[in-house]
Amino acid sequence: MLYDIKGLNEECGVFGIFGQPNAAQLAYYGLHSLQHRGQEGAGIVTSDGDDLFPHRGQGLVTEVFSEETLTNLKGHHAIGHVRYSTAGGNTLENTQPLHFKSRTGDLALAHNGNLVNADSLKHLLEAEGAIFQTTSDTEVVAHLVKRSKLDTLEDRIADSLARLVGAFAFLFLTEDTLFVAVDPHGLRPLSLGKTPDGGIVFASETCAFDIVGAEFIRDIEPGELVTITEHGMSSRQYMEPRERAMCSMEYIYFSRPDSIIDGVNVHTARKALGKKMYEEAPVEADVVTGVPDSSISAAIGYAEASGIPYEMGLIKNRYVGRTFIQPSQELRERGVKMKLSALRGVVQGKRVIMVDDSIVRGTTSRRIVGLLREAGATEVHVRITAPPITNPCYYGIDTSSKEELISARLMPEEIRQEIGADSLEFLTVPGMVDAIDRPFDGPLKGQCTACFTGEYPTPLGSLELEAKL
Ligand code: AMP
Ligand code: SF4
């Protein structure tokens, strides 16, 4: 099929800095604080005003960079990327930022998100003679920029961005300019900050500002393109904003609790999700426990609302990577087992409420219910502070393919049996939206809820996506 939609599984973090001495070092710290967004590859490209200096590699930020490599990344401007991908795409050439050299100057690009129409654009570009070096859909954008006939690079980037369908936060770096853009729905977060020395900083999450001592200024708006040169910063709409649709999973699972997305602190949102969970599905029990790390805030919220004490019923070995990175089901199950232990002293003889943020394949919940029972829990009540994930994400969050999603196959009662819980409840979509309480109007308050409802904010069908160059 020509217009194939990939559920490409990329969860990434981006960081950019302009007009700041030691840009590479700060990008390194920034990326380190975004490490939870991707652990498979990292890269930084810097500019000293005349040339670009790239360094990329597979692995964690601390593995990819050394003091020596950072010293070689010269200049006052930098963009960086941490990457997560599942089977197939994890190769060095797909590690970002991508770096393209041309007669008219170099261009480096870092992308967080996923383009739904990348394949159709790629076909058309290849038909015109473009040769792709990577399998990453991000490269499509570089080709679009290259083939655009408009006068300025800013216009060429704006023109290219307007042809994309999907979710993106993009950073583009040339020798002397940083361009930054977000998709017209604002599906992926990107914030702007300032360092005390006057450097301009961009990051997927505001937690990266804290580590480099930058002050948060504002979020990048849907459809906005920001251009920064040594003469200052300007902003334009490369496209009219569409209905706002920030990814719900950023609040529920993905972002760090200390980050603030569109004015809502992630920890506060998770606590409110836990409180809402209690309101929607109370149950009698002795202790509430959360699955580390992402569900602790929600479990505290549930405990506070219910008056049932919060206890550390599970602990995590910090030195094992995320469960999802193991590619096979068997390895994933072993991954869960290696990562978590139940505290017998806390749960033995107790009725336990186990709060987790989401169920994707059901592997984690089943294992944890088992761990709690092995440690002597008399009852295990599972509370999931998100609605059932019944649809895949095409916008860059790895919620798996439809066949792997347990909630796409089974009803909650069947899932309860499968994971061996005494009770299982999910949040409702209105409950979730109400709890996160984003400062926007409308029934979804500017949230994407597609993986729960199947109502995608962008077109997905092949005809709707027919690309035009
Ligand atoms: P599963 O075991 O497949 O049901 O996955 C659910 C667990 O994975 C939950 O504990 C979540 O915290 C976590 N999780 C949810 N979404 C993602 C994601 N996109 N990438 C990695 N982990 C996730
Ligand atoms: Fe986020 Fe789900 Fe929307 Fe994907 S489909 S962007 S995971 S809310």
Distances from the Cα of 315 to the Cα of 273, 322, 353, angstroms: 22, 14, 15
Between the CA of 196 and the centroid of ligand 2 the distance, in Å, is: 35
Percentage with pLDDT > 90 across the chain: 81
Local confidence band at 9 (pLDDT 50, 70, 90 cut-offs): very low
Asked if residue 4 has pLDDT above 50, the reply is no
Q: Mind listing the pLDDT tens digit for each residue in 27-59? A: 999 999 999 999 889 999 999 999 999 999 999
Sequence-ordered list of residues with C-beta below 8 angstroms from that of 106, at least 6 positions apart, any chain = 51, 52, 99, 100, 174, 175
Q: Which two tokens stand for residue 456?
A: 């995608």
DSSP 97-124: SEEE--TT--EEEEEEEEETTHHHHHHH
Domain boundaries, the chain: 12-242, 265-468
For 388-417, how does the pLDDT look when each residue is reduced to its tens digit (9 = 90+)? Answer: 999 999 998 887 788 899 999 999 999 999
Q: Is the CB of 356 under 6 A from ligand 1?
A: yes
- End-to-end CA, the chain: 19
Choose the residue to mutate in 183, 451, 453 for probing ligand 2, maximizing ligand atoms within 8 Å of C-beta. 451
Ligand nearest to the CA of 390: 2
What local confidence, expressed as pLDDT, does residue 320 receive?
56
CATH H-level superfamily of 12-242: Aminohydrolase, N-terminal nucleophile (Ntn) domain (3.60.20.10)
**252-298 pLDDT per residue, tens:** 999 999 999 999 999 999 999 999 999 999 999 999 999 998 999 99
Tell me what the mean pLDDT of segment 450-465 comes to. Answer: 85
pLDDT at position 135: 83
User: How much distance in Å is there from the Cα of 356 to the middle of ligand 1?
Assistant: 9
Question: Other CB atoms closer than 10 Å to residue 411's CB: what's the count?
Answer: 9
Asked if residue 324 has its Cβ within 6 Å of ligand 1, the reply is yes
Minimal CA–CA distance to 173: which of 191, 194, 153, 151? 153
Whether 297 has a binding-site annotation, put simply, is: no
Whether 386 contacts 252, CB under 8 Å: yes
Nearest residue to 83 via CA among 98, 73, 71: 98
> What average pLDDT score do residues 138-146 get?
93
pLDDT tens track for 152-188: 999 999 999 999 999 999 999 999 999 999 999 999 9
Q: Does domain 265-468 have CATH number 3.40.50.2020?
A: yes
CA torsion, ordered 154, 157, 160, 165, to nearest 10 deg? -120
85, pLDDT greater than 70:
no
Cα–Cα dist 150/139, whole Å: 19
According to the model, what pLDDT value does residue 340 have?
Answer: 87
| Residue of 270, 358, 391, 406 best suited for mutating to test ligand 1, as the one with most atoms within 8 Å of CB | 358
Q: Among candidates 446, 467, 443, 448, which has minimal Cα distance to 458?
A: 448
- Cα torsion angle, 66, 71, 76, 78, sign: negative
More confident residue, 397 or 221: 221
By C-alpha distance, which of 311, 361, 364 is closest to 340?
364
Q: What residue ranges line ligand 2, CB within 6 angstroms?
A: 187, 247-249, 393, 395, 397, 399, 448-451
Mutate to test the pocket of ligand 2, among 112, 247, 402 (most ligand atoms within 8 A of CB): 247
List the one residue out of 210, 185, 227, 192 whose CA is nearest residue 458: 185
Say how many residues make up the chain.
469
Tell which wins on pLDDT, 397 or 16.
16
CA of 358 to the centre of ligand 1 (A): 6
Average pLDDT in the chain = 91
- Tell me the whole-structure pTM to 2 decimals: 0.94
Q: Using a 6 Å cutoff on CB, does residue 294 contact ligand 1? A: yes
Our answer on whether the CB atom of 205 is closer than 6 Å to any ligand 1 atom is: no
How confident is the model over 321-343, as pLDDT tens digits?
554 444 455 555 555 555 789 99
| Dist. CA 277 → ligand 1 center (Å) | 18
How would residue 100 be classed by pLDDT, with cut points 50, 70 and 90?
A: very high
pLDDT at 316: 86
Considering the candidates 3, 8, 9, 12, report the single residue annotated as catalytic: 12
Q: What's the gap in Å between 415 CA and the centre of ligand 1?
A: 15
pLDDT for residue 317 is more than 80:
no
Ligand with an atom nearest the CA of residue 389: 2
Residue 294, annotated as binding a ligand: yes
Q: Which residues contact 348 (CB under 8 A, 6 or more apart)?
A: 375, 376, 377
Atom of ligand 2 nearest to the CA of 449: 8
DSSP characters for 33-51? HTGGG--SEEEEEEE-SS-
Per-residue model confidence (pLDDT) at position 421:
98
Could you confirm whether 12 is annotated as catalytic? yes
